[in-house]
Structure 1
Amino acid sequence: MASNQEEVTLLGVIGSPFVCRVKIALKLKGVEYNYVEENLANKSELLLKYNPVHKKVPVFVHNGKPLAESLIIVEYIDETWKNNPILPSDSYQRALARFWSKVIDDKIVGASWKSVFTVDEKEREKNVAETHEALEFLENEIKDKKFFGGEELGLVDIAAVYVAFWIPLVQEIAGLELLTSEKFPNLYKWSQEFVNHPIVKESLPPRDPVFAFFKGRYESLFASK
């Protein structure tokens, strides 16, 4: 095991759900790593060198070899450290887990973000409706399971950290109802179970500073309206 752990570095920012995915995966595998906090307003030479395509975090560096994009990184971690598997061993179930993780990124992250950080009222309503529709798919997928993959945390749960931690945060800032126990009882129950899982709890950023940061962003957006 030690050879895989020689040199593991994660470049990130504290309030990023994508960085948080990687932190959960590393914690689940018990991998020790160096964490480098980036300033996205003033990107480091390291970040630009390791992710010249997107110039974004997370960037994961294993023995000098960089990888970008959170879901790709999580899969790499799963393949490199074999304990506590994140993806199912069955090829069909594995493909499904990738599918649902992509649904979260394609259908939920953007729409829910724009629901909050869009000044135009019509545009906002459209994004709220899109978010509800996509969350409904997840609601039907989780059903009465503890986690998306069954009894243990898996890829879809890790991908959905955005749904469990960030959506409740930004909906409170904007006074919206995106994820509620009335509308999505199964998904809401899952989100509580998930954020209280010991590994997830230790990997999540502290809520107050993240809340304050996004509240500041929200207020300045509407102040300049």
Structure 2
Amino acid sequence: MAGEGVKLFGTWASPFVLRVTLALKLKGIEYEYIEEDLSNKSPLLLQYNPVYEKVPVLVYGQKPVAESLVIFEFIEETWKHNPILPEDPYERAMARFWAKFAEEKCLPAIFNAFCKLGEEQEKFVKEAKENLRTLEEGLKGKKFFGGETMGFADVFAGWIPFWVRVMEEIMGIKIVEEESLPLISQWFEDILDFDIVKESLPPRDKLIAHLKAFRERVHGSSA
């Protein structure tokens, strides 16, 4: 379905941009993707998002919308076909609950586990595992958080399977193991096997190099 001049400003390594990409593709909305260099932001990006000056930014009819959650709500309300949020009010609330939990609990713990060393890293690895074990509650009896197909929480947490596996490889530490997190582990496989996810992910080798360099900069600045 034509997006009538929809543009998405993003950067290839951003999981937040991936969320918007997945939402657009689940909706079947055609869009133009514009890659941004965040070390040399374009005048258009600064014009469209003067408050945060970051991606993602969705532009529709020359009107910009920033921040992945706000963009998602805009997409869902503007294009009613192929709804990503369920119709039932309780199910909608639960979808938002698990998306919020993944955002506020899982993301920081995973990120800190990747950035820290020694005892601090051990603490955050443990926290990440505990939070992911809680996240499993939203998957009980279901393939995806959205049921038999991807839903809102899957879109918002859909970066986790790919990024975590790359981070584990770089750290040499496992966060998600089948024995301790069977539902999350299977969800990882199902998400990574989903066609629109596969076609939207960045090249693995490129992301490994990017995250290795980022981690080295963090450790260098804290030395």
TM-score of the superposition, structure 1-length normalised? 0.92
Q: Within 5 A, what are the aligned runs for 1:147-186?
A: 147-186=144-183
Q: Within 5 A, what are the aligned runs for 1:38-53?
A: 38-53=36-51
Q: Distance in 1 between matches of 2:81 and 2:149?
A: 13
Residue 29 (structure 1) aligned with residue 18 (structure 2): no
1:22 positional shift? 0.7
1:222 positional shift? 4.1
SS for the counterpart of 2:65 is: strand
Amino acid at match of 1:79: E
Q: Does structure 2 conserve the Cα–Cα contact (< 8 Å) formed by 1:18 and 1:70?
A: yes
Q: Does structure 2 conserve the Cα–Cα contact (< 8 Å) formed by 1:109 and 1:162?
A: no
Q: Distance in 2 between matches of 1:84 and 1:46?
A: 30
1:77 positional shift? 1.3
SS for the counterpart of 2:8 is: strand
SS for the counterpart of 2:202 is: coil
Q: Within 5 A, what are the aligned runs for 1:23-172?
A: 23-119=21-117, 121-172=118-169
Q: Distance in 1 between matches of 2:54 and 2:109?
A: 20
SS for the counterpart of 1:145 is: coil
Residue 7 (structure 1) aligned with residue 22 (structure 2): no
Q: Distance in 2 between matches of 1:53 and 1:223?
A: 30
Root-mean-square deviation (CA, aligned residues, Å) is 1.6
Q: Distance in 2 between matches of 1:35 and 1:56?
A: 15
1:78 positional shift? 1.8
Of residues 182, 192, 207 in structure 2, which corresponds to 1:195?
192
Q: Does structure 2 conserve the Cα–Cα contact (< 8 Å) formed by 1:13 and 1:38?
A: yes
Q: Distance in 2 between matches of 1:223 and 1:106?
A: 27
Amino acid at match of 2:85: L
SS for the counterpart of 1:61 is: strand
Amino acid at match of 2:209: A
Q: Distance in 1 between matches of 2:157 and 2:178?
A: 17
Q: Distance in 2 between matches of 1:87 and 1:171?
A: 31
Q: Distance in 2 between matches of 1:74 and 1:203?
A: 17
1:194-217 CA distances to partner (integer Å, 9 max, x unpaired)? 111112111222211111111222
Q: Does structure 2 conserve the Cα–Cα contact (< 8 Å) formed by 1:144 and 1:186?
A: no
SS for the counterpart of 1:203 is: coil
Percent identity reads 50
1:92 positional shift? 1.4
Amino acid at match of 1:126: K
Q: Does structure 2 conserve the Cα–Cα contact (< 8 Å) formed by 1:11 and 1:38?
A: yes
Amino acid at match of 1:177: K
SS for the counterpart of 2:123 is: helix
Structure 1 residues not aligned, in runs of 5+: none
1:36-87 CA distances to partner (integer Å, 9 max, x unpaired)? 1111111111222222222221111111111111122122212222222110
Amino acid at match of 1:105: E
Q: Distance in 2 between matches of 1:56 and 1:130?
A: 28
Q: Distance in 2 between matches of 1:132 and 1:8?
A: 38
Q: Distance in 1 between matches of 2:25 and 2:40?
A: 28
